Structure 1
Amino acid sequence: MVTIAHEGGHALVAVATGRRLAGVRLHSDTSGVTVSSGRPTGPGVVLTVAAGYTAPSLLGLGAAGLLATGRVSLLLQVIVALLLVLLVVVRNGFGVATVLVSTGVVLGVSWFATDDVQAGFAAYATWFLLLGALRPIVEVQRQRRRRRARDSDPDQLARLTGLPGTFWVGVFGVLSLGCLAGAAAALVV
């Protein structure tokens, strides 16, 4: 789910900034890749690359906002809509299967579960995104330290902006922790 959100973030921002989206691939090792084309430098590519690690936390914060206002059905509908949009651009079998199964699960809960189960499922998905967003940030920094992630998002951002990759890892971490704190404030009252 976090990888789907990560790659979906890249794809959404690529399209929103006018880049041409070639497709998304999701892999069984929880990695993925989003390919877009356009200017090799500039704000569009920077925003597209930065969107991956920020998307799960921002989606989790938005989901928390909907939960806090009691809009569980709307939240589940938004999740299904985002998954279906992503399905159109996924370019590998595992990715298609993953998105279809995820969509089926959310639809099943939406259609057949009681209101309490729907609310519990929506809360689980929200917290999963918020907490799950932190692990990849820690992992990418570990890989960078071992020099195993030379094409990671933070390293691409370093080449594009001149700011060190560690700076970008810090930005992703602070943003994710901020989203987690904001969601906790909205939901744990």
Structure 2
Amino acid sequence: MHGSTISEVWHQVIGTQPTAPLALVLVTGVITLLVVGYGPVWRVARNAITIAHEGGHALIALLSGRRLTGIRLHSDTSGVTVSVGKPTGPGMVFTGLAGYIAPSLLGLGAAAMVTADRLTALLWLTLLLLLAMLIMIRNAYGVLTVVVTGVALFVISWFASPTVQAAAAYLITWFLLLGGLRPIFELQTKRSRRQAPSSDADQLHRLTGVPGIVWVVVFFLVAAGCLLVGGYWLVPELPSIAGVTG
């Protein structure tokens, strides 16, 4: 979009783009699966999931009437969102619930956008969400993480070819869908070793009395459901490709 007028950029953002070829959808899915599955790469890429996780906490805190005071992202890919308000009640419960399911729900929304051929809109919406989150970041590493992610996204959405933009949109979508699942398994692994006494699941247990493992199962069911539905939207041909008949 480099060199375009504001009007042309706006029409590009709100308009549709050509449907991505199936090969691109499948290749980006495989690449994402490798990123999520390979530990050394995942430890870096997981920062993006943490951004979505803490963004989920922050959004629901605001919607439930709590006052958001700040977000911190740490180099070990953990994060914390601090809000002020009633320490119990539905607002706290939904705020605690939002973190682990936010990446997957965002991935489902992204899948809806790319299957509607709104690829550019997805890139710019993601950039706007990052800018909104940046306002509430309260530590240097968090600012660096969000800025680097935002700059990379801006460069792609402004300077890259339509093919590269399409690949980026599908990579974002697959990563949110697939990457939303792994932290849930990591969470339960830490809980089983008693290494996460203050995890979201355990905080929800203290708020509701419902065992933490039940909340982990809820996280998993939401994430798995989003992956199944989003994956079907992205690759509706997959059953026939795999030789599955009705």
Q: TM above 0.5, one fold?
A: yes
Q: CA deviation at 1:135?
A: 1.1
**2:234 paired with 1:187:** yes
1:44 partner letter: G
**2:149 paired with 1:102:** yes
Q: CA deviation at 1:132?
A: 0.7
| 1:108-134 C-alpha deviation (Å, 9 max, x unpaired) | 000011111101011001111111111
Q: Corresponding residue for 2:215?
A: 168
Q: 1:20-169 maps to which residues of 2 (within 5 A)?
A: 20-169=67-216
Q: CA deviation at 1:95?
A: 0.2
Q: CA deviation at 1:32?
A: 0.4
| 1:62-107 C-alpha deviation (Å, 9 max, x unpaired) | 0000000000011011101100000000000000010001110111
Q: Corresponding residue for 2:15?
A: none
Distance in 2 separating the partners of 1:80 and 1:19 = 25
TM-score (normalizing by structure 2): 0.76
Distance in 2 separating the partners of 1:128 and 1:152 = 23
**2:64 paired with 1:17:** yes
Q: CA deviation at 1:181?
A: 0.5
Q: Corresponding residue for 2:240?
A: none
| Greater than 2 Å deviation, 4+ residue runs | none
- Cα RMSD, aligned residues only: 0.6
Larger radius of gyration between Structure 1 and Structure 2: 2
Distance in 2 separating the partners of 1:148 and 1:72 = 40
Secondary structure of the 2:68 match is strand
Structure 2 runs not aligned, ≥5 long = 1-47, 237-246
| 1:121-153 C-alpha deviation (Å, 9 max, x unpaired) | 110011111111111100110111111111000
Structure 1 runs not aligned, ≥5 long = none
Distance in 1 separating the partners of 2:122 and 2:172 = 10
Distance in 1 separating the partners of 2:88 and 2:209 = 12
Distance in 1 separating the partners of 2:140 and 2:124 = 24
Secondary structure of the 2:102 match is helix
Secondary structure of the 1:24 match is strand
Matched residue pairs, number? 189
- The one of 55, 63, 85 equivalent to 1:8 is 55
- Quote the sequence identity (%): 57
Secondary structure of the 1:15 match is helix
Q: Corresponding residue for 2:39?
A: none
